Amino acid sequence: MKKIPKKQKRDPEDIELMIITGLSGAGKSEALRYFEDAGYYCIDNLPAHLLMGLIDFFSLKDCKVKKIALAIDLRSGYFFDEIYKILERLKEKDIRFRILFLEASKSVITKRYSLTRRRHPLVDSGNLGDGIEKEIKRMQKLRDKADVIIDTTFLNAKELRAAITERIMTGDEKSRLLQISVISFGYKYAMPENMDIVMDVRFLPNPYYDEDLKDLDGRNEKIIDFVLNREETKKFLRMFEKMLDFLIPNYIAEGKSYLGIGIGCTGGRHRSVVISDKINEYLNLKGYSAKLYHEDIRKK
């Protein structure tokens, strides 16, 4: 009988697991949305006893998922208490994980439940306050194991996102939280939608009026030299890059997940292509997650 080859495992260092837990009503759903925006594969309310099977799947060499965020709480019922055994097994397998524990004051949780009219997992027909007290006691052991504890009593959703960024994300991870699109376009057609910053570079000399250059586009070395080897272009790039150095960290701090930067010239084939390429290159060198798009480069 032919043996079925064992599936290869990848290095445990390739997997990053974030466990989001805490008190009901403290903001776990918003935290999970945050990690989804940050590029994590997110699962809500996974029963603890299924966690290792999931990790085994993600550990396969062919699996491309690297970052996983799991929200686990008392909705799992009696399975919840298995989480402590699972944490020990994760350590034995050298799988990196962090625990984020969210909490809030009893009065604020009570207010949030009264606003949403949702049922607390430990309250069937009794008092909500008693249910919250029971949950606090049952979650204490897991709270003690948490790497980061965030009190959301005085935080709205935007402020919670900022707190997670500040408390959990490294410098490189913070830079990657914001997805940036750098788009060149021609004003003679239309400005792309969803642009947050738009730069009009029609003040730069236009290679279109040079018969030797007009049929080339901004990816050609002759056009690149024509646009970049000018003092006004160099000065503009320095000023624009300095402005982005100021704006982008502040956008990230405010919880913004997408930034559209439009660079426009008359036809979208020459000046805007060269400048957008330089800006995209600059942002990636700074560690940001930027992608380049040329909207109108093929139009004539």
State pLDDT tens for residues 30-58: 999 999 988 899 998 877 777 778 877 87
pLDDT over 90, % of the chain: 40
Query: What pLDDT sits at residue 300?
Result: 74
DSSP the chain: -PPPPPPPBPPGGG-EEEEEEE-TTSSHHHHHHHHHHTT-EEEES--GGGHHHHHHHHTBTT----EEEEE--GGGGGGGGGHHHHHHHHHHTT-EEEEEEEE--HHHHHHHHHHHTPPPTT-SSS-HHHHHHHHHHHHHHHHHH-SEEEE-TT--HHHHHHHHHHHH--HHHHHHTSEEEEEEEETTT-PPSS-SEEEE-TTSPPGGGSTTTTTS-TTSHHHHHHHHSSHHHHHHHHHHHHHHHHHHHHHHHTT--EEEEEEEESSSSSHHHHHHHHHHHHHHHTT-EEEEEESSTT--
State pLDDT tens for residues 59-74: 776 777 888 999 988 7
- Where does the pLDDT of residue 1 fall: very low under 50, low under 70, confident under 90, or very high at 90 and above? very low
**CATH 3.40.50.1000 given to domain 12-168:** no
Indicate the pTM of the whole model: 0.68
Answer yes or no: is pLDDT of 266 > 60: yes
Query: What pLDDT sits at residue 31?
Result: 94
* Overall average pLDDT of the 96-117 stretch: 86
In the chain, which segments carry CATH 3.40.50.300?
12-168
Answer yes or no: is pLDDT of 231 > 90: yes
* Overall average pLDDT of the 100-113 stretch: 89
Query: What pLDDT sits at residue 114?
Result: 77
